[in-house]
Amino acid sequence: MNSNAVIAIHGGAGTILRTSMSASAEADYHAALNAVLSAGQRVLADGGSALDAVSEAVRLLEDCALFNAGHGAVYTAAGTHELDAAIMDGRTLDAGAICCVKRVRNPILAARRVLERSDHVLFTGEGAEAFAIAQGLEFVDNSYFDTDARYRQWQLAREQQRPMLDHDAATLASTASNNDDPMPHEPIDPNRKFGTVGAVALDRHGHLAAATSTGGVTNKQVGRVGDTPLIGAGCYADDATCAVSTTGSGEMFMRMVAAYDVAAQMAYRQVSLEEAAHDVVMNRLPKIDGRGGLVAVDAQGNVTLSFNTEGMYRGFARLGEAPVTAIYR
Ligand code: ASP
């Protein structure tokens, strides 16, 4: 049994506006991250697989309105929600993903079913929903994903007539609102943050897994897909190297094949997880203006929580130890 079992999660990266942060909002984020890590830790402690731990962690993050995934997802230019998710098993390199779904309550569960019960890796839109229905997954009306905070971000992004990263739109909302309005007071400057969620884990059997889920970017064009559901861009896991989940400006993470690049650098350059993640996040992504970060774990249980923004909602938990959570650099 591997005694280094560990889970790490993120809930988005971005610019910190300490001035617009309320102590209670910060406490809410820490509490949410702690609860998710504790749940993941329990799965691992019970001998569950890394795949089970990351599925459960991301499902809980999707259900939490603080994060841009599942309930609390951002709005498209049409005022709807389109969700993307991916999951990968480092033991077998099996992977499953869905994108542009509108009614699947927990996209990560649909991605998991694709991994386990289909011959394919990625389903989109109606086909993805038909698959999820056939799998008996829970369906909701698209309005289930609505929240006032994201609606306000969308209105402001529309006024600016451009797509905005979740955190960018929220900062704008924060700036535009008055101090009596508690919603936009997020610890990370919401106009400059990326609210995707993700988890990586090493289980007691020595296996790795990664999962990522998102609503994408505020005011995105209908049909736009980012890095999150693309294996190798927003999510990657291989027992031989590491498990990675990313958050940030999706187009740049796609162009850099960011998650896979961390694993590839470990394999081909034989560098540590820390060094590979640092190179991708601090050297390569910034060359094309890629902003954001990632969480990753290797087969020895080393964890890295790396980001090139001012902050990233993040944390990790080792078996038998209290979870560690953080927001700022
Ligand atoms: N990477 C996500 C996307 O581009 C956004 C995010 O991380 O918040 O869809």
SS3 content of the chain, % helix, strand, coil (to 5): 35, 25, 35
Alpha carbon dihedral 306, 308, 314, 315, in 10-degree steps, equals: 30
- Over residues 279-313, the pLDDT tens digits come to 999 999 999 999 999 999 999 999 999 999 989 99
Based on the residue annotation, tell me whether 196 is a catalytic residue of this protein: yes
Listed in sequence order, the residues at least 6 apart from 140 whose beta carbon sits closer than 8 Å to its beta carbon are 103, 104, 105
Q: Which of 76, 171, 196, 212 is catalytic?
A: 196
- Name the residue of 84, 196, 218 whose CB sits within 8 Å of the most ligand 1 atoms, as the mutation to test its pocket: 196
CA 311-316-317 angle, 5° bins: 155
Note whether 260 and 116 are within 8 A (CB): no
Q: Residue 313 pairs with which residues in a beta bridge?
A: none
Q: What is the DSSP letter of 164?
A: B
**CB within 8 Å of 99: residues ≥ 6 apart:** 82, 83, 84, 85, 122, 123, 124, 125, 128, 225, 228, 229
Characterize the bridge pairing of strands 292-298 and 208-214: unpaired
Tens-digit pLDDT string for the chain (329 aa) = 788 999 999 999 987 566 666 889 899 999 999 999 999 999 999 999 999 999 999 999 999 999 999 999 999 999 999 999 999 999 999 999 999 999 999 999 999 999 999 999 999 999 999 999 999 999 999 999 999 989 998 888 888 766 666 755 665 566 554 443 333 446 665 555 667 999 999 999 999 999 999 999 989 999 999 999 999 999 999 999 999 999 999 999 999 999 999 999 999 999 999 999 999 999 999 999 999 999 999 999 999 999 999 899 999 999 999 999 999 98
Q: Residues lining ligand 1, judged by CB closer than 6 Å?
A: 12, 68, 165-166, 194-196, 214, 216-217, 226-228, 247-248, 250, 292
What 8-state DSSP symbol labels residue 231? B
Residue 37 CA, chain-centre distance (Å), reads 14
What separation in Å is there between the alpha carbon of 223 and the centre of ligand 1?
Answer: 14
Q: How far is the CA of 211 from the centre of ligand 1 (A)?
A: 13
Give the pLDDT confidence of 153-210 residue by residue, as tens digits.
888 888 876 666 675 566 556 655 444 333 344 666 555 566 799 999 999 999 999 9
Question: Rounded to whole angstroms, what are the CA distances from 266 to 203, 210, 235, 263, 269?
Answer: 20, 17, 16, 5, 6
Neighbours of 124 (CB within 10 A): 17
Query: Which CA distances in Å does 285 have to 159, 229, 279, 280, 291?
Result: 29, 19, 9, 6, 7
pLDDT at residue 176, rounded to an integer: 54
Contacts of 112 (CB under 8 A, 6+ apart): 51, 55, 87, 96
The dihedral sign for the CA sequence 38, 40, 41, 47: positive
CA nearest neighbour of 216 among 78, 56, 109, 315: 78
The protein residue whose alpha carbon is closest to atom 4 in ligand 1 is 250
The position carrying tokens 């997954």 is 137
What are the extents of the domains in the chain?
A: 6-145+188-328
CA distance 78 to 220: 9
Burial zone of 94 (CB within 10 Å; 0-12 exposed, 13-18 middle, 19+ buried): middle
Q: For residues 262 and 313, what is the distance between their CA atoms, to the nearest angstrom?
A: 20
Q: What is the pLDDT of residue 179?
A: 40
Q: What is the pLDDT of residue 188?
A: 60
Determine the residue type at 259.
A
Does the structural domain 6-145+188-328 have CATH classification 3.40.50.300? no
What span, in angstroms and rounded, lies between the C-alpha atoms of 201 and 43?
A: 11
Ligand 1 nearest atom to the CA of residue 195, by list position: 8
